[in-house]
Amino acid sequence: MTGLLAPVLTPDDLPLAELCAARLDGEVYPLVDSWCPVDEVDGPVVRALAAGQLVPPRAIAERMTAAWVYGLVAEPGRHQFCVDHGARTHVPPSQRLQLREVHCAAEETRVIAGLRVTTPLRTVVDLARSPAPGAAGTDAEPGLVALLAALLRLGGFADADAAEQLCRRQNLPHKVIALARLAAAQALLEHPL
């Protein structure tokens, strides 16, 4: 391969056979359902570009996909996106992604390489509220609690107070689970390992 390549390549850019051959030759590496030249740094911009190939422009990367874009977790097996309930859109069913309708204010997202991504604070609240196996705040989910603390730090928060205030809003599902997880994240922020 010669010349300048886009940071994220799809079969729309080059035939699939050529992309697979380039991967075997060590010229590109896979990222989401795309390929990136090996000299392209795997960071938030490239990850946002790759994830943006999966969904329409109205979609917002959220939860584990947002944490992945920020570089805090490995790529999820199923990417998670949302759309604001006022911005209805259709995505064909896929094992590769999950799309849900939520209320998402403009200040709860940021744009990275053309992809809207939930802010670290909104991502913390969404992840804290997500149902997961194991009792909230126990040793069964230390990875999630550590991720919540890392997202809070990334967002510039020294404690979990802002996230707790958002979780205490009326009619918010899974509030008790979220508050227990945030208390565990607060303890981790106060006494890092």
pLDDT at 113: 95
Q: And the tokens for 1?
A: 């391969």
Contact 97, 78 (CB under 8 A): yes
Whether the pTM exceeds 0.85: the reply is yes
pLDDT at 137: 47
CB-based burial label for 39 (10 Å; 0-12, 13-18, 19+):
exposed
CB-based burial label for 7 (10 Å; 0-12, 13-18, 19+):
middle
Per-residue pLDDT of the chain (193 residues; tens, 9 = 90+): 455 778 999 998 899 999 999 999 999 999 998 999 999 989 999 999 999 998 988 899 999 999 999 999 999 999 999 998 877 777 777 788 898 888 888 899 999 999 999 999 999 999 999 876 444 544 447 889 999 999 999 999 989 899 988 888 767 788 889 999 999 999 988 887 6
